[in-house]
Amino acid sequence: MKVLVLGNGGREHALVWKLRQSPRVSKLYCAPGNGGIEDEAECLPVNLKSLESLVALGEKIRPDLTVVGPELPLTLGVVDEFTRRGWPVFGPTKAAAQLEASKSFAKEFLQRHHIPTAPYAVCDSIDEVRSALTHFHLPVVVKADGLAAGKGVVIAATKEEAAAVAAEMLNGKMVGAAGARVVLEECLEGDELSFLVLSDGERVAPLVAAQDHKRVGDGDTGPNTGGMGAYSTASIIDDEMRDWLVHHIARPVVEGMKAEGAEYKGVLYCGLMMTARGPMVLEFNCRLGDPETQPILMRLESDLVEALEASIEGRVSDGDFKWSPDASVCVVMASGGYPGTYDVGKNIVGLGAAAGIEGVKVFHAGTSKRAGEFYTAGGRVLGVSARAPELQTAVARAYEACEKIRFDGAHYRKDIAARALKK
C-alpha cells in the first residue's frame, strides 16, 4: 500500500520510521519532509498551509493511507477533503479539530461536559482582560486563543504583566492572528502529563503516557517552546489512573464531540496537570504531540498501520497496541536563539557516531540535506531518542548521543526526565 505522511518535523520522521516497519507498506511518501526523512521516504513538495496544494498532491499519488502530522492541515479541513474524494486519511475533521484550533472553544466545551479544567475567562479586549483579572489569584496563565506552535502561553507573575502580555497578544505583536482573542486561566500546580488515545468516533484506546518538557531551560525556566524533550515509562501512571483518565476525560470528550455533531476520529492528545485536586485538562491537541511521538513510538511493538486503519474504519479496541515495557526518552537539540530568532544553515556533524550507540535513533526535525551533508533548517533541529530497559539507561544513551552531535549554536536541556529519575 502507498502511505503518505504530511509534515516536516520530528514527529513526522518518527511516523515514517515506524510506518516503514509495517510489512503492508510498499511505498512511503512524506510531504514536504526534511533532510533526515529523505533517507527513509520519498519526499514531495507541498504547501502545508494551502488546502489546494494538499489536495493536488493527493490527486497526484492517490494514497491508500494518509497520516496528518501537524495541526494546521487538520484545521484547514484536509481530512474532510481527502475523505470526500475517497482517500483514507487519519485524523479529525475541521469541525473536530476546533478542540486544538481554539482554546476558548475547548474551555467552553469542557465546561459544557463537566470535564475537569482550571477556572478561566475568555477576553476579546484589554478592558475585558483587566476586568477579568480581578477574579484571579497569582500567578495567572495568559493564552492566545488560536494556533501558536506551543508559544502562545505565558505564566504571568503579576496582574500588570498579565495585562501587558494580553495586550501584546490582542494587538498581534506576539503571535499574530492567533492572539485576536485570549484566555486567562488559573495557574495549576503539579506534574504535567501527556495522555493520548486513539479514537474512532465512539471507542477509545489509550497509548502509553509521556511527559513533555515545555520550557526552554533546565529546571523549567525560560519561555515556553514547542517542546524540548519527553520521556515515556510504564510507571508514569498506573492502570487505575489510566482507566480513570479514559472514563472521566478521554471518553467524555469523544462522546461530547459526537453529541455536538463533530465526530472525533484520530489521536486525541490530552495535556493534563496532575494536581492535588486530581487531573485537570490544560489543553487538547488533535494529533500526535512533538516530541512525545518519538518516545511513544519507540515503545510501540505492534503494526502502526493496523491501528490507524482501526480508527478510520470505526473498529478501535484495546488490542490495537502492543507496547514494550522499556523506557524511552527524546532530547531536543535546538538552534541558538530558539524559541526566539535563530539562524539556519549550520552544518551538523556527528550524526553517524550518535546513531551507532545502542538503542539510539536520531529523528530529524528542522534539517536539510545538500551533497550528503546535513544542515540546520529550523528552531528544533533534532530529537535525539533512546530506548532501554530502565529509564536511567535510556537517558544516559540519549545524552551520550547528544554529546557526539555538533552544530554552531546547538543547545539542549540537560534535565529531561530528571524528576522521574529522582522519584
Which of 171, 186, 201 delimits the end of a domain? 186
Q: Is residue 97 part of a domain?
A: no
Instruction: Indicate whether 297 and 311 sit together in one domain.
Output: yes
Measured CA to CA in angstroms, residue 213 lies from 106, 197, 289, 411 at distances of: 22, 20, 12, 14
Question: Scanning the structure block, which residue is given the C-alpha cell 550528503?
Answer: 372
99 occurs within a structural domain: no
Q: Per the domain annotation, does 113 fall within a domain?
A: no
Task: With a cut of 80, say whether residue 141 has pLDDT above it.
Answer: yes
Percentage of residues in the chain having pLDDT higher than 90: 94
Residue 151: pLDDT over 80:
no
SS3 sequence, 309-351?
HHHHHCCCCHHHCCECCCEEEEEEEECCCCCCCCCCCCEEECH
Q: C-alpha distances in angstroms, 190 versus 148, 149, 252? A: 24, 23, 23
CA gap 98, 284 in Å, rounded: 9
Per-residue model confidence as pLDDT tens digits over 74-133: 999 999 999 999 999 999 999 999 999 999 999 999 999 999 999 999 999 999 999 999
In this structure, are 332 and 294 located in the same domain?
no
The reported pLDDT for the residue numbered 371 is 95
**Could you list the residue range(s) of the whole structural domain that residue 180 is in?**
119-186
Residue ending a domain, choose from 186, 202, 218 = 186
- 65 and 124 housed in the same domain: no
Domain containing residue 81: CATH number:
3.40.50.20
pLDDT, position 152: 87
Stretch 255-270: mean pLDDT, rounded? 97
**Structure-block grid coordinates of residue 206:** 489509550
Question: What's the CA gap between 403 and 203, in Å, rounded?
Answer: 43
- Regarding whether 59 and 30 lie in a shared domain, the answer is yes
- pLDDT band of 286, cuts 50, 70, 90: very high
**Which of residues 287, 320, 353 is at a domain's end?**
320
Residue 308 within any structural domain of the chain: yes
Q: Say yes or no: 70 and 34 in one domain.
A: yes
User: Is 106 a domain residue?
Assistant: no
The reply to whether 150 and 216 lie within a common domain is: no
- Rg (the chain; Cα; Å): 20
Strand ranges in 109-239 using DSSP code E only, listed in sequence order: 120-123, 140-144, 153-156, 182-186, 191-200, 204-206, 211-212, 215-217, 221-224, 229-232
What is the mean pLDDT of the segment spanning 170-193?
91
pLDDT band at residue 174 using 50, 70 and 90 as cut-offs: confident
Strands 140-144 and 153-156, sheet pairing: antiparallel
User: How many separate helices (H) and strands (E) can be counted in the chain?
Assistant: 15, 23
The angle at the Cα of 284, spanning 278 to 287, to the nearest 5 degrees, equals: 130
pLDDT of residue 149: 73
**Contact of 161 with 191, CB cutoff 8 Å:** no
**Together in a domain, 80 and 138:** no
Question: Bridge partners of 370?
Answer: 373
Q: Three cell numbers at 15?
A: 511516523
Contact 231, 98 (CB under 8 A): no
pLDDT (tens digit, 9 = 90+) per residue, 189-224? 999 999 999 999 999 999 999 999 999 999 999 988
- Shared-domain flag, residues 278 and 372: no
Q: Are residues 379 and 258 in the same domain?
A: no
Q: What is the pLDDT of residues 8-58, one digit of tens each?
A: 999 999 999 999 999 999 999 999 999 999 999 999 999 999 999 999 999
Cβ–Cβ < 8 Å for 230, 332: no
Q: What's the whole-model pTM score?
A: 0.94
Measured CA to CA, the distance from residue 306 to residue 205 in angstroms comes to 13
111 in any annotated domain: no
Provide the CATH number for the domain around residue 146. 3.30.1490.20
Q: Which grid cell sits at 126?
A: 484589554
Report whether pLDDT(254) > 90. yes
Q: What is the pLDDT of residues 308-338, one digit of tens each?
A: 999 999 999 988 899 999 999 999 999 999 9
Q: What is the pLDDT of residue 119?
A: 96
Q: Is 261 left (phi over 0), alpha (psi -120 to 50) or beta?
A: left
Per-residue pLDDT band for 417 (boundaries 50, 70, 90) equals very high
Asked if residue 95 is part of any domain, the answer here is no
pLDDT above 90: residue 423: no
Buried b (16+ CB within 10 A) or exposed e, 371-395: eeebbbbbbbbbbbbbbbeebebbb
Q: Nearest Cα to 363, choosing from 308, 295, 289? A: 295
pLDDT at 173: 82
Whether omega before 92 lies within 30 degrees of 0, making that bond cis, reads: no
Are 255 and 299 contained in the same domain? yes
The domain tally of the chain equals 4
Average of per-residue pLDDT values in the chain: 96
Nearest to 361 by CA among 15, 33, 44, 34: 15
* CB 223, CB 335: distance < 8 Å: no
Same domain flag for 304 and 219? yes
Same domain, 239 and 357: no
